[in-house]
């Protein structure tokens, strides 16, 4: 494995220090919740190894939602852990992955670290960040073991329709490949598409509680797939990496998931408010143009005029104490930026957007 640190992690708010940022528009999740608010006191919880597939009551809830069996669910340390298990189980130096670009950095970086061939499927603004079917067909060949897509997409918030997902699933099947759907933002879409597992046994769904439930600190995610052999392989990988998850993480996750409907309703309300603020900001200023996001809590607009982006991001941080995700976090030009609208409260969010505009105008005047 050829490990390198990814800019999105090395420059992340938690690495920079949350106390250095006043307006945090760089997060891709909803606000973090605290322990007290969850009201969980696991006083009689035995701190033992857990079921290697993961805490059964939680797997049962997820399985019920997905219409699959609990053994089709493997709990993992976050979606990040799930993606690592899938990539290292299926990819090697002699095969290839077809993966969307831009993307959540890990979906590009782990295949690089493994040393498999990476067939990067370019997405672009002009095509609403949608994958081009003809390009996929040209890129597919017998060495492609995995097609890797993110739905809803990070950093753009793009959603594929059910028909488009079905088409991807069919293309993967016909090529004798697996289809990975990273569905980490699924619960943050007003109109979620069917879960990946419903399209066939060759489709692998990955998700987690981090983004939608505001509990990234418990590191709880999962792989869902109806292919028994694959699930056995993923279990073997999990056992070699960590045997099982932390029982504390699993117990907290289960408590969050039991109250899913109520929790998500409140969170969605707040996301909708901030989204309204963002939409009117983008539409009423001559700073950014965007493809309106359809799912999740991030979007990936670009600056209309070209400015010195190094100066812009440096000033934004030093003078305005405001943070967004610059394009290079996603191997894209820094004229693009990811704005997260689920994490800050409305006041911080509005202030952050004002700062963004003021900083942009300040740089433009100097240029």
Residue 341 beta carbon to ligand PLP: minimum distance, rounded to whole angstroms: 15
Query: ∠184-16-276 over CA atoms, to 5°?
Result: 50
Q: Name which of 193 and 355 has its Cβ closer to ligand PLP.
A: 193
Instruction: Report the site for ligand PLP in 49-78 (rule: CB under 6 A).
Output: 78
The answer to whether 148 contacts ligand PLP (rule: CB under 6 A) is: no
Which one among 89, 148, 189, 210 touches ligand PLP, defined by CB under 6 A? 210
Cβ atoms 68, 223 nearer than 8 A: no
The answer to whether 216 contacts ligand PLP (rule: CB under 6 A) is: yes
According to DSSP, residue 193 is labeled P
Residue 1 beta carbon to ligand PLP: minimum distance, rounded to whole angstroms: 18
Residue 319 beta carbon to ligand PLP: minimum distance, rounded to whole angstroms: 27
Alpha-carbon distance 326 to 339, whole Å?
9
The answer to whether 187 contacts ligand PLP (rule: CB under 6 A) is: no
The answer to whether 184 contacts ligand PLP (rule: CB under 6 A) is: yes
Alpha-carbon distance 182 to 146, whole Å?
12
Residue 198 beta carbon to ligand PLP: minimum distance, rounded to whole angstroms: 20
Q: Where are the beta strands (DSSP E) in 142-191?
A: 144-150, 178-182
Phi and psi (nearest 5°) for 192? -65, 145
Phi and psi (nearest 5°) for 334? -75, 0
Residue 221 beta carbon to ligand PLP: minimum distance, rounded to whole angstroms: 4
Q: Which residues pair with 130 in a beta bridge?
A: none
The answer to whether 104 contacts ligand PLP (rule: CB under 6 A) is: yes
Token code pair at residue 115: 């040393």
Q: Is 173 helix (H, G, I), strand (E, B) or coil?
A: helix
Alpha carbon dihedral 192, 198, 204, 206, in 10-degree steps, equals 30
- x/- letters, 24..43, toward ligand PLP (CB under 6 A): ----x---------------
The answer to whether 151 contacts ligand PLP (rule: CB under 6 A) is: no
The answer to whether 150 contacts ligand PLP (rule: CB under 6 A) is: yes
**Sites of contact with ligand PLP (CB under 6 A):** 28, 78-80, 104, 150, 154, 182, 184, 208, 210, 216, 221
């Amino acid at each position: 494995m050829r490990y390198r640190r990814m800019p999105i992690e090395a420059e992340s708010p938690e690495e920079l220090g949350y106390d250095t940022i006043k307006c945090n528009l760089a997060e891709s999740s909803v606000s973090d919740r605290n322990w007290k608010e969850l009201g969980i006191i696991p006083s009689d919880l035995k701190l033992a190894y857990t079921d290697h597939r993961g805490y059964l009551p939680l797997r049962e809830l997820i399985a019920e939602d997905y219409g699959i069996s609990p053994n089709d669910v493997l709990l993992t340390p976050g979606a990040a852990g799930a993606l690592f298990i899938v990539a290292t189980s299926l990819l090697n130096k002699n095969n290839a992955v077809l993966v969307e670009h831009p993307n959540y950095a890990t979906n590009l970086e782990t295949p690089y670290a493994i040393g498999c061939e990476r067939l990067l499927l370019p997405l672009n603004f002009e095509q609403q960040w949608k994958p081009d079917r003809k390009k996929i067909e040209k890129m597919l060949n017998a060495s492609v073991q995995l097609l890797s897509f993110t739905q809803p997409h990070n950093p753009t918030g793009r959603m594929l329709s059910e028909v488009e997902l079905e088409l991807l699933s069919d293309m993967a099947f016909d090529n004798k490949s697996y289809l990975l759907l990273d569905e980490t933002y699924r619960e943050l879409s007003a109109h979620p598409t069917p879960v990946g597992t419903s399209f066939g046994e060759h489709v692998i769904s990955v998700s987690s509680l981090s983004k939608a439930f505001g509990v990234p600190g418990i590191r709880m995610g999962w792989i869902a797939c109806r292919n028994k052999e694959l699930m056995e392989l993923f279990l073997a990988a999990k056992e070699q990496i960590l045997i099982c998850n932390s029982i504390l993480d699993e117990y907290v996750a289960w408590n969050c998931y039991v109250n899913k409907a109520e929790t998500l309703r409140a969170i969605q309300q707040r996301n909708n408010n901030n989204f309204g603020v963002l939409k009117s900001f983008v539409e009423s200023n001559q700073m950014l143009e965007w493809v309106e996001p359809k799912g999740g809590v991030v979007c990936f607009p670009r600056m209309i005029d070209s400015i010195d982006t190094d100066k812009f991001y440096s000033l934004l941080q030093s003078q305005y104490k405001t943070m967004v995700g610059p394009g290079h976090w996603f191997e894209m030009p820094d004229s693009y930026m990811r704005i997260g609208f689920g994490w800050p409260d409305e006041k911080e969010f509005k202030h952050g957007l004002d700062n963004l505009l003021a900083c942009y105008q300040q740089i433009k005047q100097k240029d």
